[in-house]
Amino acid sequence: MARRLSPLDIAFLQMETPEAPSHVGGLQIFEIPAGYQGAFVADLKARLEAIPAGAPFNLKLNPKGLPFALPTWIPDNNFDIDFHLRHSALPAPGHMDALMKLVSRLHGRLLDRTRPLWEMYLIEGLEGNRFGIYTKIHHALVDGVGGMRLMDHSLSRTPDDQGMRALWSVEEIEKRARLKRSMTDGAIQTAKSLMGPLRSLPQAFKALTMPGKTEAALAFKTSKTVFNGHITASRRFAVHSLPLAEAKDIGSILGHTVNDMFLAICATALRRYLAEKGQTPGLPLTATVPVSIQVQGASKQGNQITYIAVNLCTDVDDPLERMSAIGRSAAAAKRDMAALTRSAVQTLAVVAQGAAALINHFHLSDYVKPPANLVLSNVPGPRETLYLMGAKVIGSYPMSILMDGQALNITLCSQGGRLDFGILGCRNAMPDIDVLARYVGEAFAELKSLAADKAPARPATKPRAKAKVPAQPKSKAAGPAVVTPKRAPRRSPAPAAVLQ
């Protein structure tokens, strides 16, 4: 039976161009188990390709029925796992730079619309007894949160679990019932699916351009930067990881959430990057932040997201004042969003994506400002360390979408005690994107230093009189005492932002 796409899913198909593919992806780095006997990556591929593919990974676009009906997914009766699951190798000695160049090239290529819209590459030869897996899936098929959950389900929680659960596993997908089957096809169903969004259009447009007396950022109120021009199909990718526990401790001392810190770290890094280029935007940078609107417990595939605009306050010099201002802007945007009906929230996503699609498809970035300077996404992942056939996940870096006028995307994934930054840019606009990744680390170090200055001092105590004890053999001196800062009261969690 054919399965319908939502209006937002269709928008991701319509906005796609050779310069701006509409797939999301991710790079995972694994540590091969010590003492493994055999060719690990080849053995992994042999086990994976034996697993049958289920929906949506065996579905392709149905070319029939257009333009009078919404496009649908239909089964690919000639599905070929060898086309979708591929084996690559890095040239010796297998530096990370070589891996970054490879996945940058892969991410810039369009998926084949005559086949199911996904590919996975097993990449061996990474130094340090490691290998990588790069996966890309069309955004019309799955959003970032859905993709992350699928990846999580394909991994195990212990190194001893040798069970194999592929991303495309029939058993896993049927068990979760991820796709909603369409009741009817054709023009009647098309009209019904669009009535709600059309009724909510005025409310959605008002929310996008006139958020009222709040500190929320306005869409299209931006200054152009080096990453707000035309894009090409060439990509550059850089990664950076931070310790999650340390970030939480710093946030509790400074009175901010990890999400506030993520936005502030990006703002500081961008300030430094633009200053190095001699650019001082007249207006503060703004970010489009995708937000999950999926109902808890729902299992629907496709896109369950909308967007808010956040002021990154890059005109504020003090880093703590900047982070506070960013937090207020994000909170105001979420309050404005909460005042909308669910239909209006969904329509807002279509309107925002539609505007970006027009700019992207007709290359209008020379004539109109982008909705925001860049996209910043925060994808929550599992807290546990994950494994694949005993290989430990040591990095999980998201790769998202670029559009004409928005040549930069930064997506964060929290997983296994890490904050993994995936920083994707257009090569023509940002050939030195690794510099921005370095500034992410420096921005975190700055917040860490400020938190250390604000941490409560350890109370002084009167030294006790030394007791007379027999002389003991000399031993190595103990390390310095570790002071665990007192946590501030936990703030209410914000809606989870998702991978664009």
The domains located in the chain, with CATH, are 3-176 (3.30.559.10), 195-380+400-452 (3.30.559.30)
Predicted confidence at residue 186, as pLDDT, reads: 38
Residue 213 has pLDDT above 80, yes or no: no
Which residues fall within 8 angstroms of residue 327, CB to CB, at 6 or more apart?
256, 257, 260, 263
Q: Which of 139, 256, 361, 363 is catalytic?
A: 139
Residue 348 has a pLDDT of: 66
- CB neighbourhood size of 364 (10 A): 16
* Opening angle at CA 86, ends 85 and 91, nearest 5: 155
Q: Quick: pLDDT tens for 290-316.
A: 887 654 444 445 445 678 889 999 999
**Alpha-carbon distances of 412 from 284, 380, 397, rounded to whole Å:** 22, 8, 7
474 contacts: CB under 8 Å, gap ≥ 6: none
Mean pLDDT, residues 170-174 taken together = 60
- Provide the pLDDT for residue 330: 93
Residue 286: both structure tokens together = 């703004």
Q: What is the pLDDT of residue 479?
A: 38
What's the pLDDT tens digit per position in 219-250? 667 889 999 999 999 999 999 999 999 999 99
For the stretch 45-58, pLDDT in tens is 999 999 999 988 99
336 has pLDDT over 60: yes
Structure tokens at 193: 């699916």
Selection from 212, 434, 254 nearest residue 423 by Cα? 434
* pLDDT score recorded for residue 377: 95
Most confident option among 2-11, 34-43, 134-143: 34-43
Phi and psi (nearest 5°) for 333?
-65, -40
Short-list 203, 161, 374, 403, CA closest to 286: 374
What's the pLDDT at 151? 80
Residue 352 pLDDT level (bands cut at 50, 70, 90):
low
Q: Considering the chain, what is the average pLDDT of its residues?
A: 82
Known catalytic residue at 23: no
Q: How many CB atoms lie within 10 A of CB 436?
A: 25
